Amino acid sequence: MKTLNIGLIGAGFMAKAHSVAYAGMPMFFWPAPAIPFKKTIADINEAAARDAAEKFAFASYTTDWHDIINDPDIDVVDICTPNNVHAEIAIAAARSGKHILCEKPLSLTTSQAKEMYLAAKNNHVKTMVAFNYRRTPAVQLAKKYIEEGAIGKILDFRGTYLQDWSADPDSPLSWRFQKDICGSGALGDIGTHVVDMLRYLVGEFTSVNARTATYIPERPVQSGMSDSLGNTKGGADSIRQSVDVDDQCCFMAECANGAFGTIEATRNAWGRNNYITFEIHGSEGSICFNYERRDELQVCFAKDGDDRRGFRTVYTGPCHPYGEGLWPIPALGIGYTETKIIECYDFCKAIMQDQEVSPNFRDGYAIELISDAILESAKTRVWTKVKEVAEN
């Protein structure tokens, strides 16, 4: 069986998630399309790189990501860094002929996203952007129902991604609150997950009308680049610096197929942990999903009799998408790790079978164009058209 040598850049939380996926994928999906071998992990902090190599079972570590790019034995470059270095690493990897898995959002700007997409396209490498939530089996089941026509023509939708880890003003100023590192705030960090999910389920966004807000203008300075995600607090005497990205984003969207909807994303919603939801209404029924109850899909079909029409719960299991590789009975429990394992499976399969996989860099570029339109609309307070992907 073919081995794919992995070079992973960044040693934080996402490196842990990806490393677990590489280890677990062959156990869930056997025979595996390939066996990932965790060859090298890189981080600018040597202690972090060394610890990560031991903890995540990599054969070696380095403090210079160029070592991974220049290693002829590396097949896949996995980018788990802050957003501001995605483009430089990905473009170098593409030019070296290496396949690329990159955390979201794809880049800081649409121009960077375009350059990343074209570099990968021109060098014929496989790419994936890690919008892993769309690989939740219940979301895939929703896609199956939609494609089968079970809810008819899509009329409208709404989606949310609500968290509360930054609702406390004493939560630290991580890189996720600094525009020159992250690009945008709640929109890029979590909102793009819902954009990806609903673009995948409903269709291409053509125009948006948005509002953004920054509720906490200053936060305590955090030492280092690692995310505490609100788990550490700054005191009253802490040095504080300005936040220059959005805490909240809410927008309406029109789609090419005529569907219309709303999406809201905020990290300041007390009581919400990882509240990713969507509800899609069609001419023949409705679908409703809540990631915090990720084994479930709520469905209502218009064809049901008047005396029994209403939402029913379908628990995902072996007869549903990816069910053959997961757990043997419905509702046994799908978690974040499994979505990453499925992501790893699809990416490795695309490499080995020389097929396209989605979301890829083209999708990531398209989402950056949507994000640009959202931020522009938030400034002008008018409907803003989403630009089309440039293919050259």
Domain ranges of the chain: 3-133, 137-333
CATH number 3.30.360.10 is the correct assignment for the domain at 137-333: yes
Give the residue among 22, 20, 56, 15 at the shortest CA–CA distance from 36. Answer: 22
**Whats the size of the chain, residue-wise?**
392
Name the residue type at position 168: D
Q: Which value, in Å, is the radius of gyration of the alpha carbons in the chain? A: 21
Structural contact between residues 303 and 310, judged by C-beta atoms closer than 8 angstroms: no
Structural contact between residues 165 and 227, judged by C-beta atoms closer than 8 angstroms: no
For residue 174, what pLDDT is reported? 86
For residue 235, what pLDDT is reported? 62
The CATH number fitting domain 3-133, selected from 3.40.50.300, 2.40.40.20, 3.40.50.720, 3.30.2350.10: 3.40.50.720
Distance CA 38, CA 30 (A): 18
For residue 236, what pLDDT is reported? 65
Entry pTM: 0.94
Sequential pLDDT tens for the chain (392 residues): 899 999 999 999 999 999 999 999 999 999 999 999 999 999 999 999 999 999 999 999 999 999 999 999 999 999 999 999 999 999 999 999 999 999 999 999 999 999 999 999 999 999 999 999 999 999 999 999 999 999 999 999 999 999 999 999 998 998 999 999 999 999 999 999 999 999 999 999 999 999 999 999 999 987 655 666 666 666 667 789 999 999 999 999 999 999 999 999 999 999 999 999 999 999 999 999 999 999 999 999 999 999 999 999 999 999 999 999 999 999 998 999 999 999 999 999 999 999 999 999 999 999 999 999 999 999 999 999 999 999 98
Give the residue among 299, 341, 304 at the shortest CA–CA distance from 316. Answer: 299
Distance CA 343, CA 24 (A): 11
